[in-house]
Amino acid sequence: MLFLYIAQNVILPIFLVMSLGYLVSRYFTLDLGSLSKLNFYIFIPVFMFYSLLIFKPGNEEILQAILFNALLAGLSFAVMVGITRQLNFQPGTAAMSTLSVMIFNSANFGIPAVELAFQGENQGTAVAIQIITITAMNILTYTLGTFIVGGWSQWRTGLVTIVKLPILYALAGALLLRGAGMDLPDFVMTPLKWTSDAMMPVALLTLGAQLAQSGLKVRHSAELWVTVAARLLLMPFLALILLKVLGFHGLLAKVLFVSSAFPTAVTTVIFAIEYDKEPTFAADVVFITTVLSGLTVTTAIGLSTVLF
């Protein structure tokens, strides 16, 4: 009963909105570049800024979320290097497989999932924890992700990209205002709220459109299914072990555990295209993990209520 309740009330709404984006993109030509820029430069940063001002996670929760995501990324990197070498993946496929397992969709998919999964008095804190995860994922993507796909000689490119990330300035701005005890006037907070409220539907519509345009081609099928299994099954298992070792519990542990079951981020496809490293393989991983995440995220949400 719990599984069906979560599937109906958390996962189904997400996939219904994604389906609208998917269908519209199949019949009309959408400019995904513009949609992605709206999400990246406006909706997600404003959502983060506004949410951190309203919900105010504790400093300890912020540090714990950062620590967990950094350790999980390092652990997943080490595990995937071992798996890809043991199974003799080609270099390009190995790089994209490793990145696809490490980097999950913490924003476009993650925020709606967390908002719906943790409703009630805990929703604000849960969303704030996920916001810290978004920041950590973006930093990891443009540092370790750049090294994995582009090579260690690309470290300057990664650092320059990080400096340009708007979410970092949204996070810093919100924390500075909180630390100074300052409240923004209503004529500023009102448009921030409007923009913040639009983030979830726009993000899901964009994700659906991206899936429609990437399609499914299924090349390197053995490597593909190993990567999918590692992203959706192995990573939540490693996350559970890590959370127990760190001694995290309560809402923090629940949100971090659930986020570990999210599908691969669309950013991996952008990296694959940029560095010419198996873009079709990367797009297939994103597509399949997103579709199958309906099962894994539902299961993770249910397990989180028992495990933590």
Quick: pLDDT tens for 35-49. Answer: 878 877 888 888 888
Q: Taking Cα atoms as reference points, which of 279, 232, 270, 252 lies closest to residue 109?
A: 232
Task: Select from 303, 272, 259 the least CA-distant residue to 107.
Answer: 259
What tens digit of pLDDT does each residue of 186-228 get? 899 999 999 988 888 888 888 888 888 777 776 668 899 999 9
Give how far the C-alpha of residue 48 lies from the chain's centroid of Cα atoms, to the nearest Å. 14
Half-sphere exposure of residue 35, counting CA atoms within 13 Å on the CB side?
18
Please report, for residues 11, 43, 131, 293, the alpha-carbon distance to residue 300 in angstroms, rounded to integers and kept in the order given: 12, 27, 19, 10
Q: Higher confidence at residue 170 or residue 151?
A: 170
pLDDT of residue 153: 59
Report H helices in 103-163.
Answer: 110-117, 123-142, 144-150, 155-163
Identify the band that residue 64 occupies on the pLDDT scale cut at 50, 70 and 90: very high
Q: What pLDDT score does 267 carry?
A: 83
**pLDDT value at 274 more than 80:** no
The count of other CB atoms within 10 Å of the CB of residue 91 is: 10
For residues 7-33, give the mean pLDDT: 87
When the pLDDT of each residue in the chain is averaged and rounded to a whole number, the result is 86
Q: Are 228 and 91 in contact (CB under 8 A)?
A: no
- pLDDT by residue (tens digit) across 162-187? 677 787 788 888 888 877 888 888 89
Pick from 260, 239, 254: nearest CA to 110: 260
Query: How far apart, in whole angstroms, are the C-alpha atoms of residue 105 and residue 207?
Result: 10
Distance, CA of 282 to CA of 220 (rounded, Å): 11
Chain Cα centroid distance, residue 173: 22
Residue 195 is predicted with a pLDDT of 92
Higher pLDDT, 221 or 243: 243
Whether the per-residue pLDDT at 270 is higher than 90: the answer is no
24-38, 102-116, 289-303, range with greatest mean pLDDT: 289-303
pLDDT of residue 113: 92
Question: What per-residue confidence (pLDDT) applies to 201?
Answer: 87
Mean pLDDT, residues 111-122 taken together: 85
Q: Where are the beta strands (DSSP E) in the chain?
A: none
| Contacts for 58 with CB less than 8 Å, ≥ 6 apart | none
Q: How far is it, in rounded angstroms, from Cα 182 to Cα 253?
A: 30
**Residue 36: per-residue pLDDT:** 78
CA distances from 173 to 39, 184, 243 (A): 19, 12, 29
Residue 117: the pLDDT is: 92
Mean predicted confidence (pLDDT) in 230-240:
96
Q: What percent of the chain has pLDDT over 70?
A: 94
pLDDT at residue 151 tops 70? no
Higher pLDDT, 151 or 266: 266
Task: Evaluate the CA torsion angle 281, 25, 47, 308 in order and state its sign.
Answer: negative
Instruction: Give me the mean pLDDT over the 226-248 stretch.
Output: 96
